[in-house]
Amino acid sequence: MKREASFCVPAGNPSETVLAFLARRFTYHSHEVWQARVAEGRVQVNGQVARSEGPLAPGDRIEYDSHDLPEPPVATGYAVRFEDADLLVVDKPGNLPCHPAGAYFNHTLWALLKSRHGLESPAFVNRLDRETSGLVVVAKNAETARSCQSEFAGRRVGKRYQVLVEGVFPEVWEARGVMRADPAGPVRKRRLFVEGGTAGEAGSDWAETSFRRLAAGGGISLVEAAPATGRLHQIRATLWAGGFPVVGDKLYGVDPELFLRFCKGALTDADAAALRLNRQALHAGWLRMRHPRTREWLELEAPLPGDMAALVLLFRLSLTKPGAILHNDGL
């Protein structure tokens, strides 16, 4: 599949040249490599071949021919849990991005669905982080996408996640509060959950998640998370704020410097031992929604993936229900 990255210069971007912008924003190439790529005519701005010293303005569209850019390996063995003329629901493995971004293009669920299922424009109704496994809903047409997105936005979809956390989790925790940027965090993308607060608080998003412990042992717990809202990093940030970081999580983990060392490729054997798993142990295991056309209820499950199940066995956690897929009958 031809790889051509396209993106817009964001509003508020500082005044800088094409070369300066590319080298600062997309660090998978060095300044020198970007300079060579621009000189080869592989970068365009607003449809015209770019010059390294050409100025950029907010709203300018940059296109980059990156067909020979090596991509990191990913897990590609997703499973189809439901499919008809309108919808495709897949069980995504951990370590598979949904959308092209950064160093990933062909190594994404989006590209795999185009090549394996012949979908011209797969529309993801819900999105999971690259390291999060579980159910992803894909609309096959624009009408289905609009209908499903309305259901998700209106909180008419039931969602349940299974997550392994450090520590002995309480039996239940109704987490209600606000999420905002973490000004003290070492990483800009990390968010902060503050229990309490006020809905509508400036610079904050209201977040609600119901948690209950499924099992505990060996210093970790298996927890079910039911988010009522859909904020960025909601489950992981909330658990971290509560003192129960997600197993394997490098951004909201046991050591705030883990993510920085991971980005530099400098994780140590001690880091790997502290993480326990090579990805965040978060799994979107259950979903209940109305079919966009028939309006019948769909109830979909994805069993606990092998890497998380192995930890459950290793620490001899006794599950309250086989398969670790628990339903809320009140939905």
> Do 150 and 88 belong together in one domain?
yes
Query: Looking at the domain assignment, is residue 170 inside a domain?
Result: yes
pLDDT tier, 4 (very low <50, low <70, confident <90, very high otherwise): low
pLDDT, residue 2, reads: 52
Q: What is the CA radius of gyration of the chain?
A: 21
Of 92, 126, 154, the residue at which a domain comes to its end is 154
Q: Model's pTM, two decimal places?
A: 0.79
> Do 253 and 174 belong together in one domain?
yes
> Which domain CATH number covers 21?
3.10.290.10
> Do 108 and 179 belong together in one domain?
no
> Which domain CATH number covers 181?
3.30.2350.10
Decide if pLDDT at 312 tops 70.
yes
pLDDT tier, 327 (very low <50, low <70, confident <90, very high otherwise): very low
pLDDT, residue 7, reads: 73
Mean pLDDT of the chain: 88
Of 17, 44, 65, the residue at which a domain comes to its end is 65
Number of domains in the chain: 3
Query: Looking at the domain assignment, is residue 141 inside a domain?
Result: yes
Torsion sign (Cα): 52, 106, 278, 135:
positive
Query: Looking at the domain assignment, is residue 320 inside a domain?
Result: no
Within its chain, how far is the Cα of 172 from the centroid? 25
Written in H, E and C, the secondary structure of 37-92 is: HHHCCCEEECCEECCCCCECCCCCEEEEECCCCCCCCCCCCCEEEEECCCEEEEEE
Per the DSSP assignment, residues forming a β-bridge with 134 are 92, 284
Query: Looking at the domain assignment, is residue 217 inside a domain?
Result: yes
> Do 90 and 61 belong together in one domain?
no
Decide if pLDDT at 305 tops 90.
yes
Query: Looking at the domain assignment, is residue 195 inside a domain?
Result: yes
> Do 169 and 268 belong together in one domain?
yes
Mean pLDDT, range 143-151, rounded to an integer: 93
pLDDT, residue 27, reads: 67
> Do 127 and 96 belong together in one domain?
yes
**SS3 for 118?**
coil
> Do 175 and 270 belong together in one domain?
yes
> Do 91 and 145 belong together in one domain?
yes
* pLDDT 10s digits, 49-101: 999 999 999 889 888 876 666 788 899 999 999 999 999 999 999 999 998 77
Catalytic residue among 129, 249, 271, 329: 129
Alpha carbons 296 and 111: distance in angstroms, whole number: 30
Query: Looking at the domain assignment, is residue 313 inside a domain?
Result: no
pLDDT, residue 66, reads: 67
Of 134, 154, 174, the residue at which a domain comes to its end is 154
- Is 129 in the active site? yes
- Domain range for 96 is 73-154
Query: Looking at the domain assignment, is residue 219 inside a domain?
Result: yes
Q: How far, CA to CA in Å, does 125 sit from each of 72, 85, 113?
A: 25, 16, 14
Query: Looking at the domain assignment, is residue 289 inside a domain?
Result: no
> Do 166 and 258 belong together in one domain?
yes
